[in-house]
């Protein structure tokens, strides 16, 4: 019987792996999710001037593509939700930033809040992370973290804090 070989290093020449690993940012030896979120900032700054409806359409397309990108890369590497897969962080941060208009202050607050919720995984983020598998599971917990972070940003904007 042939033994299955598990490959844990991405091939960044493969465009799917290149995207999943956040253009290489997911290869950071420590805190790849943080580096992936940093990559999301210039992407946000490029998208931010777009009409809100177009921003949301691109966000939805990025989420849907991410399901496939993350699933395919996980399968290729033989590791569910490899730590270097950061496409989900990129989309999660873009979700966070959809709650407010631009400005460096909001970019920074969004970064900190998204990383806070993504790392601590309060309910149901941690529950989803453990129970929903495949590309959809990889993407879903970061979507919810982005919704949490964006909601807190709205509360800050409204003066609730």
Q: Cα separation of 119 and 40, whole Å? A: 16
Q: How would you write 137-155 as a 3-class SS string?
A: HHHHHHHHHHHHHHHHHHH
Q: How far is CA 146 from the centre of its chain?
A: 8
Residue 3 has pLDDT above 60, yes or no: no
Token output for 46 = 């490029």
- pLDDT bracket for residue 9 (50, 70, 90): confident
pLDDT digits (tens, 9 = 90+) for 96-126: 999 998 789 999 999 999 999 999 999 999 9
User: Is residue 44 within 8 Å of 92, Cβ to Cβ?
Assistant: no
Residue 101: predicted pLDDT:
81
CB-based contacts of 89, cutoff 8 Å, min separation 6: 22, 33, 36, 37, 40, 114, 118, 142
Of 61, 85, 62, which is closest to residue 12 (Cα–Cα)?
Answer: 85
First to last CA, the chain: 61
Count each helix (H run) and each strand (E run) in the chain, helices first: 7, 0
Q: How far is CA 87 from the centre of its chain?
A: 5
Mean pLDDT computed over 31-36: 97
pTM of the model: 0.93
Residue 160: predicted pLDDT:
72
Average pLDDT, the chain: 93
């Amino acid at each position: 019987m042939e033994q299955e070989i598990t490959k844990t290093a991405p091939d960044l020449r493969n465009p799917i792996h290149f995207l999943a690993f956040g253009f290489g940012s997911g290869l950071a030896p420590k805190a790849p999710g943080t580096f992936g979120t940093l990559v999301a900032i210039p992407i946000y700054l490029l998208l931010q001037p777009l009409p809100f409806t177009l921003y949301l359409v691109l966000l939805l397309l990025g989420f849907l593509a991410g399901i496939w990108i993350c699933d395919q890369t996980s399968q290729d590497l033989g590791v569910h939700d490899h730590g270097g897969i950061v496409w989900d962080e990129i989309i999660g941060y873009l979700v966070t930033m959809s709650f407010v208009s631009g400005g460096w202050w909001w970019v920074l607050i969004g970064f900190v809040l998204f990383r806070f919720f993504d790392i601590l995984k309060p309910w149901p983020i941690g529950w989803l992370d453990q129970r929903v598998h495949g590309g959809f599971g990889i993407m879903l917990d970061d979507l919810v973290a982005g919704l949490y972070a964006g909601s807190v940003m709205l509360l800050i904007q409204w003066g609730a804090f």
